[in-house]
């Protein structure tokens, strides 16, 4: 498998430990001229690779690792291989790994089998795959990559260095920032789900004439759906990260640096603050405000506003510590019911006396 992966990885860059230590502001212990050409975990790192230690409990894995060097936490521990000591090895490993994988953008231009509508603005330095389809008046930034089967509607704007993977659909009027990554099968800008109901119980569609705006550095997972606004815009702000199969309804605002885990659903006109974290399969009702840095555990069902920094769980959502306590009490309900039956008997007996 390793050979395979190696052959697939085209843009391999070699860097030496001194450079990498400087990149992450770490303290180098050992030979700074040692070069590495990749990063891997403790089990799989090869002799030309860097590895990283996040938990002291894995120290044995490190001592058996074939890696050339390691990123490690700050401590007095001695290592048999060169190390870069940092406060947060996870973060440093991510930064180093990105730097080792980075290479110059290789523009392949617009494939002749792509379909490009009238009045598009497309710089030379882009990669538009075969069978991508662009509508009219699409404006692309520098170094944009559109995969096969991507469909971009009329008037869409996509900023520099953004990538849309295969079979992504972006409906007309959507505005996408720079360094945005959208994974395969995502649908951005479908109609919001809104109807008015007449006296016969038939649903009359409320036209959805707003747009979707995705700001810089957002990542959007596979098969995610983000609906256009009824009026105005649905808005995903800078740096938000959205996992697969998330559903974001019309007029929702996702705050900067928020983390939305897989299969979350957020109903219309709800606003998330900065740095909000929603666990997998959580659901948020419409027209709510979730405060900055609030967190919801997986499967939480949120029906009311959540204050900043609150941590909530359960359905309906309550504070996480209370939820933990209640969850353990619920498991004891059979005993409680028995106790109460017994008490009723004894009290009846006492009353009789």
Of residues 165-224, which lie at the interface with its own copies (CB under 8 A)? 165-167, 169, 171-173, 181, 183-185, 187, 190-191, 193, 195-198, 201-207, 209-211, 217, 219, 221-223
How many helices (DSSP H) and strands (DSSP E) are in the chain?
A: 6, 38
* Whole-number Å distance between alpha carbons of 37 and 145: 25
Q: Please compute, for residue 52, the number of CA atoms within 13 A of its CA located in the half-sphere on the CB side.
A: 23
* Whole-number Å distance between alpha carbons of 230 and 249: 10
The CA-atom distances, in angstroms, between 42 and each of 14, 45, 79 are 19, 6, 14
Give the footprint of its own copies on residues 139-158 (CB under 8 A). 147-149, 151, 153-155
Catalytic residue among 97, 183, 250, 303: 250
Q: Is 250 among the catalytic positions?
A: yes
Whether residue 317 contacts residue 294, with contact meaning beta carbons closer than 8 Å, is answered with no
Name the pairing type of β-strands 109-110 and 233-236. unpaired
Asked if 63 touches its own copies (CB under 8 A), the answer is no
Give the footprint of its own copies on residues 19-58 (CB under 8 A). 38-41, 43-44
Question: To the nearest whole angstrom, how small is the minimum distance from the Cβ of residue 2 to its own copies?
Answer: 10
Question: To the nearest whole angstrom, how small is the minimum distance from the Cβ of residue 276 to its own copies?
Answer: 11
Asked if 232 touches its own copies (CB under 8 A), the answer is yes
DSSP letter (8 states) at residue 58: G
Q: Please compute, for residue 315, the number of CA atoms within 13 A of its CA located in the half-sphere on the CB side.
A: 9
Whether residue 282 contacts residue 303, with contact meaning beta carbons closer than 8 Å, is answered with no
Give the footprint of its own copies on residues 90-119 (CB under 8 A). 90-91, 93-95, 97-98, 101, 113, 115
Residue-level length of the chain = 353
Region binding its own copies by CB under 8 A among candidate stretches 3-11, 58-66, 74-82, 119-127: 3-11
Indicate the residue among 173 and 177 with the shorter CB distance to its own copies: 173
Indicate the residue among 109 and 130 with the shorter CB distance to its own copies: 130
Indicate the residue among 78 and 197 with the shorter CB distance to its own copies: 197
* Whole-number Å distance between alpha carbons of 54 and 20: 17
Binding mask 264-293 for its own copies (x = CB under 8 A): -x-x------xx----xx-x-x--------
Asked if 298 touches its own copies (CB under 8 A), the answer is yes
Active-site residue list: 250
């Amino acid at each position: 498998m390793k050979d395979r992966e190696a052959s697939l990885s085209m843009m391999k860059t070699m860097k030496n430990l001194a450079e990498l230590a400087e990149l992450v502001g770490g303290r180098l212990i050992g030979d700074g001229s040692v070069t590495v050409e990749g990063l891997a975990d403790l089990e799989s790192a090869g002799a030309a690779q860097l590895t990283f230690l996040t938990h002291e409990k894995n120290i044995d894995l490190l001592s058996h690792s074939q890696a050339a060097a390691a990123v490690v936490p700050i401590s007095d521990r001695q290592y048999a291989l060169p190390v870069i000591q940092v406060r947060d090895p996870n973060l440093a490993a991510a930064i180093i790994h990105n730097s080792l994988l980075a290479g110059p953008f290789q523009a392949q231009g617009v494939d002749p089998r792509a379909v490009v509508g009238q009045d598009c603005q497309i710089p030379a330095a882009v990669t538009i795959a075969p069978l991508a389809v662009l509508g009219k008046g699409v404006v692309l930034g520098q170094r944009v990559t559109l995969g096969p089967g991507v469909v971009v509607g009329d008037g869409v704007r996509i900023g520099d260095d953004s990538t849309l993977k295969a079979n992504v659909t972006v409906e007309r009027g959507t505005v996408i920032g720079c360094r945005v990554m959208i994974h395969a099968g995502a649908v951005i800008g479908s109609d919001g789900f809104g109807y008015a109901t007449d006296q016969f119980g038939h649903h009359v569609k409320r036209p959805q004439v707003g747009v979707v705006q995705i700001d810089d550095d957002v990542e959007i997972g596979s098969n995610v759906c983000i609906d256009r606004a009824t009026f105005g815009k649905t808005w995903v702000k800078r740096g938000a990260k959205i996992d697969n199969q998330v559903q974001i309804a019309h007029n929702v605002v996702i705050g900067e640096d928020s983390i939305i885990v897989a299969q979350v659903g957020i109903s219309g006109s709800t606003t998330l603050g900065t740095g909000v974290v929603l666990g997998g399969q959580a659901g948020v009702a419409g027209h709510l405000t979730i405060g900055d840095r609030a967190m919801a555990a997986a499967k939480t069902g949120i029906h009311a506003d959540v204050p900043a920094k609150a941590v909530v769980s359960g359905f309906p959502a309550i504070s996480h510590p209370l939820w933990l306590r209640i969850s353990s009490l619920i498991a004891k309900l059979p005993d409680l019911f028995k106790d109460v039956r017994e008490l009723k008997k004894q009290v009846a007996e006492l009353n009789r006396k």
